[in-house]
Chains A and B, each alone.
Chain A
Amino acid sequence: NPDSLMTDILLNGRRVDGRRPNEHRLLRAQLGTQPQADGSALLEHGNSRLLATVHGPAQARAADLSPEEDCVLRVLYNKPPFASMTERRRRGRGDRKQDETALLIEEALGGVVLKQLYRRSQIEIRVLQSDGSELSAAINAVSLALMDAGVAMRGHLAAVTVGYCDQAPLVDLNSYEQSAGLPSLTVACVGQRVLHASVGARLHSQQLDPLLACASRACACVANQLGQDVKAHLLAACCFQSAA
């Protein structure tokens, strides 16, 4: 019954967790949590915690090189069995959903990493997730880890998932809203350029434009918020250096 679904999601203008439709969840990042990796980031996005590490650039395997000798980005996405809030599912190594997510992250990063600076090399990104959430949190964590590793990028890649409920766009869906089957859009962009967009559940063509506009504004907010965490990390590192 669609009416009862809509009241479940949005009651008196508030969502399940008490947020208004245009409010994000708590977003907090820590860079450099794993000293032995070249770059690492721990991202807290609401109830999810993601850990991303970057190894590289390093020598690429001959089998991975394309004819243009471009940089190869490999993303390994892994979700431990206790990550889901609702059930424990033993995810095998060849889980297609994990491979698909890894491939989507690779494609999004392909547009933002300056690959021509890293010819014949391979940047390996490993993402481990806990308290399961979506693709946008993974993209945010990976771009932070790349920043920590010092890999050259065109800009800050930020991602957000927005949905449509009752003629109003909802920003930053949580897992309850996503599993309810709302029409949703995951967008990753750098400034004004959109690098990745994927739709979940059926989206009417008239809803697409307002959702895209809402999503780009939301991405800018996310980039701003995470940028403050990055600046705080850099300032702390600089102060430490000057004091030593």
Chain B
Amino acid sequence: SKPGMSQPMLTDDAADWNLAVPAEFAKALLANRLRLAATAASPSSRVGHVTPGCLGGAAGSAISVLGNTKFACGVSASVVELSAAGTAAAAAGCHPLLAAGVVLNADLPPVCSRAFRPGPPSDTAQALTVQVSDALAQSGCLDAAQLTVGPRHRLQLHVDAVCLSADGSLPDACLLAVSAALANLCLPRLVVPADAGHDDSNSGPSVRSTAAADVGVRRCPSGEKFRPAVLRPGSAVICTSFVAIDNDQLLSVPDGREEALPGAAIVRVFTAGGGDLPVCVVSVQMVGEAASELVGRCCREAVERHAACLAGPLAR
């Protein structure tokens, strides 16, 4: 089936019943252990679908589709000059992701859902930005050394994730797009002026030195490109959301309606790893309460889904 359009099919009677008494319909579905979400259609739809490198204007880009939730992520880079005093002060006070040189912003524009109005970023958007930034910072998969350009300069990455369609499991789709976009990054090689006492060995992989001392950092005239491995090769940071009903049923990768079910607890498990790094659970965030064995089950299933994502949509 096409990854772009997924809408579960109901018979006419069932659709009428759903329209008239949606709460009862949902309870009846759960009692029979059925799910209506687009992500429940097949195991591959639960893992998602990623299209890397689709946006020409960005250095690295990806669009992720998870059921009816779609995110577009674009990464662009700029060169920042470091001053010794500034670095120390900045590293002390700011978010660890910012200290590593990655500025992340998740945007939920009005086009993705009726719930979002134009204006300053909504609470959901701000919470999503914080969740995704924390997951990336704590993952241990980011390699900040790849971003150094010479002794005094550094690349700063701007990662913008824009939601195109919101239907539950927002951090899942967002992190899928961000991991794929960071893996897809392709930047022009840079030329740094060589000054006296400058040592070539610690200039970082993005640099060639030149003898001209009065020119700033600029692109290599041959126009060659390089791919910084900001996320360690083969690794990714992935979130898996679950909805726990009555301490009994577990719905993985819920859609908007399932997340809003009354009496349900949402568990979001952030996992990181792959390639040379072991897959581990970075954090677990919950809304509501659930029994500890359910949370344990969530973590185990999240680790399995992480492996499936690395083998499937994020495979390179």
Contacts and interface: CB of A to CB of B under 8 A. Distances in A.
Interface of A: 30, 32-37, 47, 51-53, 55, 76, 78, 80-86, 88, 93, 124, 126-128, 130-132
A33 to B, nearest CB: 6
Contacts of B31: none
A33 B158 contact: no
Given A80-B74, A80-B162, A132-B57, A126 B111 contact: yes
A35 B68 contact: yes
Given A76-B110, A78-B109, A131 B55 contact: yes
B103 to A, nearest CB: 10
A89 to B, nearest CB: 10
Contact of B118 (A35, A76, A86): A76
Contacts of A88: 57-58, 76, 78, 158
B86 interface: no
Given A34-B165, A88-B158, 17 more contacts: A35-B68, A36-B114, A36-B165, A36-B167, A51-B164, A78-B111, A80-B160, A82-B55, A82-B75, A82-B76, A82-B160, A85-B57, A88-B76, A88-B78, A126-B109, A126-B110, A128-B162
A35 B109 CA distance: 17
Contacts of B7: 35
B56 A85 contact: yes
Interface in B30-73: 55-58, 61, 68, 72
B118 A130 contact: no
A128 B164 CA distance: 8
B207 to A, nearest CB: 22
Contacts of B74: 80-82
A25 to B, nearest CB: 14
Contacts of A82: 55, 57-58, 61, 74-76, 160
Contacts of A36: 68, 113-114, 165, 167
A243 to B, nearest CB: 12
Contact of A80 (B72, B78, B119): B72
B172 interface: no
Closest 7 CB pairs of A and B: A82-B74, A88-B76, A126-B111, A82-B58, A85-B57, A128-B111, A80-B162
A241 to B, nearest CB: 12
Given A76-B118, A82-B58, A130 B160 contact: no
A6 B118 CA distance: 42
Contact of B111 (A86, A93, A127, A131): A127
A128 B158 CA distance: 19
Contacts of B262: none
B5 interface: yes
Given A51-B164, A76-B118, A88-B76, A33 B57 contact: no
Contacts of B109: 76, 78, 80, 126, 128
Interface in B64-116: 68, 72, 74-76, 78, 107, 109-111, 113-114
Which size bracket describes the interface of B in this complex? 20 to 34
Nearest to A56: B114
Nearest to A126: B111
30 contacts: A34-B68, A34-B164, A36-B68, A36-B165, A47-B56, A51-B111, A52-B111, A53-B111, A55-B114, A76-B109, A76-B118, A78-B109, A78-B110, A78-B111, A78-B118, A80-B72, A80-B107, A81-B74, A81-B160, A82-B74, A82-B76, A83-B57, A84-B57, A85-B56, A86-B57, A93-B118, A93-B120, A124-B110, A127-B111, A131-B56
Nearest to B158: A88
Interface string B228-245: 000000000000000000
Contacts of B120: 93
Contacts of B57: 82-86, 88, 130-132
B93 to A, nearest CB: 22
B313 to A, nearest CB: 19
Nearest to A127: B111
A104 B234 CA distance: 47
A188 B25 CA distance: 47
B2 to A, nearest CB: 10
B275 interface: no
A80 B161 CA distance: 9
Contacts of B55: 82, 130-131
A33 B5 CA distance: 6
A132 B74 CA distance: 13
B4 interface: yes
A30 B3 CA distance: 14
A37 B110 CA distance: 11
A132 B119 CA distance: 21
Given A32-B5, A127-B111, A128-B109, A81 B76 contact: yes
B181 to A, nearest CB: 9
